[in-house]
Amino acid sequence: MNAKKATRRAYGDYLVELGAGNSNIIVMDGDLADATFTKLFKKAYPDRFFDCGIAEANMVDMAAGLSTMGLIPFVSTFAVFGTGRAYEQLRNGVAYSKFNVKLACTHAGISTGADGGSHQSIEDIALMRVIPGMTVIVPADEGETRKAMDAAIEINGPVYIRLARTETNILPDHPFEVGKAAVLKDGNEVALICCGVVVDECIKAAEQLESEGISTAVINMHTIKPLDEQTVHKYAAKCRKILTVEDHSVIGGLGDAVAASICGKGGFSFKKLGAQDRFGQSGTPAELMHEYGIDAETIVLNAKN
């Protein structure tokens, strides 16, 4: 059985490693250090950790100011609070001035589970995509999380890293480059374009489809912005049938980014799988992913249809 790890835990672990080699890295959290795993950084480097309490807007503005001193703030809380409650501060306080702040939010998507719809952020990718100059990364596993954090440090400007609560399989190592999709499996009939926790489900779905004689490509679109339009166009032309799969609303997320990219570029069969204009609800991650049509079983049915 493959090893599993939640990307939020991978984030917390790697923060400690990064902190050892770069004294400019500081961490800020909104009273959720146990859940975001920034508690590990707090324990290792207490003088570089700031618990800002349940005051996310203040936390983002503090990070903006500290970034002007040459520091690299990693700002963490749940995605629904980090991108929603502090949106205006991210827009005007960070991105407008191109400040070097890294927002890394956990508990994104309906796969968060039993916390329910109030805590399951299904709008965060849409909110961050629309901010000028914001880079948006959705890692699928531990390896991609670490590489995304390395890449974020190299980017001189705002970055949003979307992290999950639920554990996912650790994928075989593969190249990671911001703005360049990872083609995990080639195929020529159906293209599954996905990100984050649903990459696992798409790999399982592709295996099932292949067993039924349907050649299926799996494209891990870990960077939502900037989008790898070249790979999108290549597989749209090659497969002609495209399914986007995301643990997010189908409005404004990965699916809409792909749709905008291929609009007017030819005739394709295209469908977006994700939350269909509805909030999340309480349940296990597996139950919810099935209910919202982003598990392997439902992906297979949609691909065959």
Residue among 95, 238, 83 nearest 161 (CA): 83
Q: What share of the chain is helix, strand, coil (3-state, %, to 5)?
A: 40, 25, 35
Q: Render pLDDT for 165-185 as a digit per residue (tens, 0 to 9).
A: 999 999 999 999 999 999 999
Tell me the H-state helices in 22-80: 33-36, 39-44, 56-67, 79
Q: Which of 56-70, 75-89, 261-275 has the lowest mean pLDDT?
A: 261-275
CA-based R_g, the chain, Å: 18
Mean pLDDT (whole number) for 187-211:
98
> Is domain 182-304 in CATH 3.40.50.920, yes or no?
yes
- pLDDT at residue 104, as a whole number: 98
Provide the percentage of residues in the chain whose pLDDT is more than 70.
99
Q: Render pLDDT for 66-87 as a digit per residue (tens, 0 to 9).
A: 999 999 999 999 999 999 999 9
Of these residues, 56, 144, 167, 246, which one is catalytic? Answer: 56
301 pLDDT exceeds 50?
A: yes
Mean pLDDT (whole number) for 244-260:
98
- For residue 165, give the DSSP letter: S
28 pLDDT exceeds 70?
A: yes
> Is domain 4-169 in CATH 3.40.50.970, yes or no?
yes
100 pLDDT exceeds 70?
A: yes
198 pLDDT exceeds 70?
A: yes
What is the chain's mean pLDDT, rounded? 97
- pLDDT at residue 1, as a whole number: 46
CB contact burial 1-21 (16+ within 10 A = b; e otherwise) = eeeebbbbbbbbbbbbebbee
Q: How far apart are CA 190 and CA 238, in angstroms?
A: 9
- pLDDT at residue 267, as a whole number: 86
- Same fold for the pair 4-169 and 182-304: yes
- pLDDT at residue 266, as a whole number: 85
Q: Render pLDDT for 125-163 as a digit per residue (tens, 0 to 9).
A: 999 999 999 999 999 999 999 999 999 999 999 999 999
What's the pLDDT band for 24 if we cut at 50, 70, 90? very high
CB 219 within 8 A of CB 186: no
What's the pLDDT band for 23 if we cut at 50, 70, 90? very high
What's the pLDDT band for 296 if we cut at 50, 70, 90? very high
Please say if 56 is a catalytic residue. Answer: yes
116 pLDDT exceeds 90?
A: yes
Q: Domain residue spans in the chain?
A: 4-169, 182-304
